[in-house]
Structure 1
């Protein structure tokens, strides 16, 4: 370990040591800091039980960062609050004096702002001062919780251990006793229609309340909600949780319980004009009429001059408006799953809401139901879909920081958007942008690496999205639940660097649709790209001297014509509800097959290597697959463990002997292996010296990251990344770069680090420094100036501060 690294490590240790002695320094006489709660089980709970008794302890110690440092308490103690209050009073007084002068000049007042100490204190946490009165309440809380979980005879006692004069450890001793389990579970449903509805929703078969299972009051409440949801899906609009009753007989021997379910009859009174309607039986409800209000204004008692009926697939919809509809009736009715004559169904309501929301045309969406009448044993409802349009056209300009890989940059853009271009919610957008990035380049001798704003990029993009399948032939009826989308994009980009300039023009046409709310498909039958490259004289000579086939191919004019399909799955919830959530993105792309067939049939012109040309430009032919799996364990609202696995394979064939530059894989950077320079890792254990960006045909990436919140806005991330890229075939110019089963596992690079994130809700700014832990290319570093240490792949043994990679980015890495 060198002196610089030793200094950093020593500094960190001193910081933690100093903090360990300091948390009690501001306590008053007689106050003690609660440093730990420890729960001890004096007997065994039921096998397989997962209990969260610690959540019911009322007083908890201060949070620790990485289990070591009470960071929030340290920040709290850092602030001299008496001095802060004096400074605040002084600053407020000065601001008030200035405001008087501003008002005298007719200027608006300036708001009072907190001093630095007050802002800093928001990130602090007061010391957890031990309070014995909360201990007995915690005992009772845990006993009540355990009773609700089936441990009717559980007992909790506590003891206190004093550490020195200022610290306390609290012990809670739990005796569970026997768990009470179900002997008989019965569901008594007198109404045959209610019973039939519950059978259709598999209420009886799928219930978790089964003989032999432990009594659990929370599970009973969840069952009550499940039954309510199922009944409302079957048309029972008035059904709610209060009609589901459970009765338990706990006076049985051997800690057994008999539990029975009953559905209580409703007692609902409603005014209908001068009459009062009483509903005292559970009745399914049908939809009588569906009304759409596309000009709805919240809080305004609106009267409409027109009530026009439109039919879609023989289903009538009544559109209420005042003339000059802003939307075609078809685009409105296409989003509605709710249909006249159908039974009320909460799923239909949810999907209808999602369909209208996906149009991105309405700032307010509400679906209401009004009871109309009862005929026989069926109730009738009128549905009102209230839509408040958002602004149709908008202009925007932005100036922001960007990151590509680990390279910082600046971007300015201007865009025009029309959310309802042709009155059917078509989203038309035109965007112009300019971007400057700072990338690592070498001087003419390739000896000195420097970083400047050397990459400039200018471009524009026209895109339009149609909320339907736009095809030149009849595809028949498709479900409204599919939420289809057709997209046409025409981007053009010009990129210039000191060594070369690239011009890219592209056209793509594709479709997206839902299979279920969790599953989405994306199919692009057409994507055509033309890449033209201009090289500086020096760079052209350098490429020719390298004789690297991939680099030579990457920096020549070429054409890519491809077809792709992508499958997307996600059950992720954005509200941080504890649970396990996964996302999967799997795709396949074929390029050049149609052109190759036409070229062979038409005997197109070929170059010296046998490649077919279009206007003297070769086209790429390849197949590429990629899988991106992500798993999120949300353990609490402040702690998430995230895992990512990526596998990609590209195979060139036919008209290509290497993958096109734009379709190849690269490694490292701010969202990849964070301890290495973006695109300078690999392939395999090939040592490139960092002179050129490196690309491959195969990619593996594994990332494990724990995210935890210090405050509502400041988060930390502890992460480890592993992976690399490889070539499909052996390449003499990039020795040890090809994939081989007998050594690929030795060529997986590893990096790790600890990052800090600022979460502003709409933006997450991320600084993720990382060290290279294992670099497989080091073993093939045969530079005469290197030592045995330089050739050791385990770089963790020789940490140097200069090896730390600083990755600044916006958003989470995945």
Structure 2
């Protein structure tokens, strides 16, 4: 209790110190610090961010009501350079005395460091926002413009600067807006000089961005101008520009109605000193020339190799290294078709996605043999990237299972390996580490007792390889790729030691700017455990639980299972004890029903985690992402995935009449293959609140249901909870399942719900912070696990959803973000019902997470 009171006292002391800081320390006597903006719309105050964003001046940013950045700025000395000059530089005796002690060079460094640090405080902090009459009038004009552009042509605006009555040198600004009656779009007429443009416009008039009987919005007319420009340029009008479109709006004596006329002039042509107008024409592509190895150095060299396919001609300045058909497949500018900006953009995107060429250059020139001056020749200049690329990586790490680790790897990329823009990637990786865990049972006493080595090979084809034509479904402009992957790795670690083999046949295509699809037609994984006898050295919780049962006064078991200390012998004694309980032999007696069930649960978990896995799966992933670029802070992202495994092997086994093993399962290469269905949904939404304030949420749900040849899910396909990208109040694999309390070292299950909420804001400079709430858990459902605390049986089990909360710091280095989060167990379902909320809610029981980039 005393410790808690001390912490509360310290918190309030810090809070009082912050509040007591003088925010107007750098505000002059005739100035006023802006404390608040208010917008009064038609007599009522509004709170819409989009309206307040129109103002030129905003109060200093605050955290919990305290302007931290302003207080930090106030720490800087406004005239430090003159102070140092007066004290040190202009005072000859003091300067000479200091130079005799630390030398002139050191004194100059000291002065410069003081000045640089003072400037850093100013840059990192936030200068006081001083109420400006000029900026306020500009804000009023901007408000008037915003409402005018949204249909209130008779809007009236005013403002008032109101000094604070309680605190000196502070003021707020009130803005007054009276909108009056809005104007409605009543009619849209056209005056299009060129007959070709008029025909195109009338064919697509239903797609107009401006709607009749709707309130006028300037943005709608801007969008209509963009639409028409794209419409004409995608329908053959090669030389059309946006400047040819103007709108004439009539609002005189119309009873608040807007009568609009779209004006589109003819093409302006300049010849010599004269200028005239001519009707726009529809342009057609007559030829497409592709230069596969163009460089600036060979621009004047003769072409030595070429291939003609229809009206496409592929050229090379040396021996042609590309199959012409593969290059033409990536070009969507087609001879005999109208000019189209969209075709050019798709060609750029597809050629870039091949990773074979540098950014291409596409140029259009008039066809000299065309007397109508409407035909265009498209010349595409491609500059190859280096055929071979090498990459290396190296890292040093530390984790909860190793006190020191070294990772290394290398990769080789071979471009255009078969001449059809195919790429071959070969990668190798390895790591060694020193374990912190007592699970390592080796004869040698070695520092590096953990190791892993692996290799991956990826062969990528720029097309869909299937025995039937997919062009009508997956078009070439969707950037289709087929990838064949092979992977092999072997681990020698604190665990069971594993060998892993994987093979994937994958198809990927982008059906629109926002939608990406991925189909793993074959996703094969074989996992072989090499050191199953080490199980109870790894999973010490299970081993300790067995020993606790043995130590019970009523339990009698075979003394051959125990060592001289009365503990179960690993592995023989522990395994024999488990089988004795499972088979109800007379070697073990006195167990309660609860103890017996615990032993059965440990047996089943051991069997599942030590068995070899053969997973022959297929999956499909649909990804919808509205994020437009790296700096877009308001977007939505939806990922849907469904995976099925074992159906093909099950059907083949039945047709072949294979025998089942003693457990009633089919086996392939001596391994009972997995069979399950696994749907997942993952949704992320970010809201940009302005001024580097972001609210982000994530919702995840997944379930893996075994059936047929399996009654459980392989460890590699199960779910876990906790960790820096999940529920940050628990370490990875520590949360769940259900209310069991995470009894095992690696807790996992086959059902998961997770919800994350995070408010992100800027502290100062590149340092950001966040408050977060993480909600979720994992459960076993419809599988072999019988532990009531771990299974989900009804909606009432939702009271086992764990809640974590906390805060964090993030430093933005530009190319990545270093993240540090502190999570507190707010609602712990593993505790008794009355003690679940805010139990051990303190820094001693907090979980500290370090991560790279944002968690979602």
TM range, smaller chain = 0.7 to 0.9
- Contact kept, 8 Å, 1:286 with 1:378, in 2: the verdict is no
Aligned to 2:522: 526
Larger Rg: 2
Q: Which residue of 2 aligns with 1:210?
A: 212
Post-superposition CA distance 1:321-352 (Å, at most 9, x none):
31123433222211111111211112112211
**Structure 2: how far apart are the matches of 1:225 and 1:127?**
41
* CA–CA separation in structure 1 for the residues paired with 2:386 and 2:278: 46
- Report if the CA contact (8 A) 1:293-1:321 is conserved: yes
* Residues 1:617 and 2:676 are matched in the alignment: no
The one-character-per-residue Cα deviations of 1:58-89 (angstroms, maximum 9, x if unpaired) are: 22222223x53323323322334655896999
Q: TM-score, normalised by structure 1?
A: 0.85
List aligned pairs for 1:562-573, cutoff 5 A.
562-573=617-628
Using the alignment, how far apart are the partners of 1:393 and 1:322 within structure 2? 20
For 1:453 and 1:813, how far apart are their aligned partners in 2?
Answer: 32
Q: Which residue of 1 aligns with 2:457?
A: 462
What CA distance in whole angstroms lies between the structure 2 residues aligned with 1:349 and 1:95?
Answer: 61
What is the aligned partner in structure 2 of residue 739 from structure 1? 792
Q: 1:570 to 1:124 in 2, by over 3 A?
A: same
1:328 aligned partner: 323
| Residues 466-520 of structure 1: per-residue CA shift (max 9 Å, x gap) | 1122346776776322322111222222234334222212122222223333333
Q: What is the alpha-carbon distance in structure 1 between the residues aligned to residue 691 and residue 302 of structure 2?
A: 46
Report what 1:240 is aligned to: 241
2:506 pairs with 1:480: no
Pair 267,561 (structure 1): closer, same or farther in 2 beyond 3 Å: same
Residue of structure 2 in register with 1:158 after alignment: 160
Query: How many angstroms apart in 1 are the aligned matches of 2:398 and 2:66?
Result: 31
Q: Quick one: higher RCO (CA 8 Å, sep 6+), 1 or 2?
A: 1
Unmatched segments (≥5 aa) in structure 1: 99-110, 445-451, 781-790
1:378-777 residue pairs with structure 2 within 5 A? 379-400=374-395, 411-435=407-431, 456-471=451-466, 479-533=475-529, 534-537=531-534, 538-539=536-537, 541=571, 545=578, 546-547=599-600, 548=602, 549-577=604-632, 579=634, 581-604=635-658, 606-636=660-690, 638-689=692-743, 691-710=744-763, 713-729=766-782, 734-777=787-830
Stretch moving more, 8-17 or 678-687: 8-17
By how many angstroms is 1:559 displaced?
1.7
The 3 A distance-change label for structure 1 pair 34 and 299 is farther
Q: Tell me if structure 1 keeps the 8 A contact 2:159–2:173.
A: no
C-alpha separation between the residues in 2 aligned to 1:405 and 1:569? 36
Task: Show CA shifts across 1:94-141 (max 9, x none).
Answer: 49999xxxxxxxxxxxx9999555445432222212323322232223
- Map 1:271-350 to 2 at 5 A: 280-297=278-295, 302-306=300-304, 308-311=306-309, 314=310, 316-350=311-345
Q: Provide closer, same or farther for how the CA distance between residues 430 and 421 of structure 1 changes in structure 2, counting only shifts above 3 A.
A: same
Q: For 1:645 and 1:595, how far apart are their aligned partners in 2?
A: 34
Q: How big is the alpha-carbon RMSD for the aligned residues of Structure 1 and Structure 2?
A: 3.8
How far apart, CA to CA, are the structure 1 residues paired with 2:306 and 2:107? 60
CA distance in 1 between partners of 2:55 and 2:352 (Å)? 42
User: Would you say the 8 A contact 1:43–1:176 is kept in 2?
Assistant: no
CA offsets 1:226-274 (integer angstroms, 9 cap, x no match): 2212221222122222111111122225333322212122213368xxx
Of 204, 208, 214, which residue of structure 2 is paired with 1:201?
204
Identify which range, 664-673 or 589-598, moves more after superposition. Answer: 589-598
Residue 59 of structure 1 is matched in structure 2 by 57
Moved more, 479-488 or 608-617: 608-617
SS of equivalent residue, structure 1 residue 389? coil
Displacement of 1:523: 1.9
Question: Do 2:422 and 2:462's aligned partners in 1 also have CA atoms closer than 8 Å?
Answer: yes
Contact 2:294 2:317 in 1 (8 A): no
In the alignment, does 2:39 pair up with 1:36?
no
Q: Is the 8 A contact 2:35 2:59 kept in 1?
A: yes
1:406 and 1:678 in contact (8 A); partners too: no
Aligned partner of 1:354 among 342, 349, 354: 349
Q: Name the residue aligned to 1:264.
A: 265
> Of 74, 77, 87, which aligns to 2:74?
77
Are the aligned partners of 1:406 and 1:670 in contact in 2 as well (CA < 8 Å)?
no
Q: Is the 8 A contact 2:234 2:339 kept in 1?
A: yes
How many residue pairs get aligned? The number is 770
- Give the distance between the partners of 2:44 and 2:35, measured in 1 at CA: 27
Q: Summarize the Cα distance change of 1:552–1:200 in structure 2 as closer, same or farther, 3 Å threshold.
A: farther
Distance in 2 of aligned mates of 1:601 and 1:434: 42
Instruction: Find the aligned partners of 1:455 and 1:75 in 2 and give their Cα distance.
Output: 47
What SS does the corresponding residue of 1:776 show, helix, strand or coil? coil
Kept after mapping to 2: 8 A contact 1:147/1:154 = no
Aligned to 1:447: none
Secondary structure at the residue paired with 1:127? coil
Encode CA deviations 1:378-429: one digit per residue, 9 max, x unaligned: 7222223233333332222222367999999763322222233333332222
Q: Is the 8 A contact 2:123 2:765 kept in 1?
A: no
Structure 2 Cα separation of the partners of residues 465 and 218 of structure 1: 44
Measured in 1, the distance between the counterparts of 2:692 and 2:298 equals 41
Aligned twin of 2:16: 17
| CA distance in structure 2 between the aligned counterparts of 1:205 and 1:366, rounded to whole angstroms | 32
Inter-partner Cα distance in structure 2 for 1:200 and 1:9: 71
8 A Cα contact 1:576 1:637, kept in partner: no
Aligned partner of 1:106 in structure 2 is none
599-608 or 567-576: which moved more?
Answer: 599-608
Contact 2:676/2:705 (8 A) holds in 1: yes
Partner of 2:141: 140
Instruction: Specify whether residues 614 and 205 from structure 1 end up closer, same or farther in structure 2 by C-alpha distance, changes over 3 A only.
Output: closer
Q: TM-score, normalised by structure 2?
A: 0.81
Distance 1:113 1:798, change over 3 A: closer
Distance in 2, matches of 1:650 and 1:475, equals 31
**Whole-Å separation in 1 of the counterparts to 2:71 and 2:291:** 56
Q: Secondary structure at the match of 1:218?
A: helix
Q: What per-residue deviation string (whole Å, max 9, x for no partner) do you get for residues 720-779 of structure 1? A: 221111112376653222223331321221112222222333322222222122122223
Partner of 2:129: 128
Checking the alignment, whether the CA contact within 8 Å between 2:125 and 2:765 is kept in structure 1 is: no
Query: Which segment is superposed worse, 484-493 or 363-372?
Result: 363-372
Tell me the equivalent position of 1:177.
180
1:366 pairs with 2:361: yes
Aligned partners of 1:324 and 1:422: how far apart in 2? 15
Shift of 1:355: 0.6
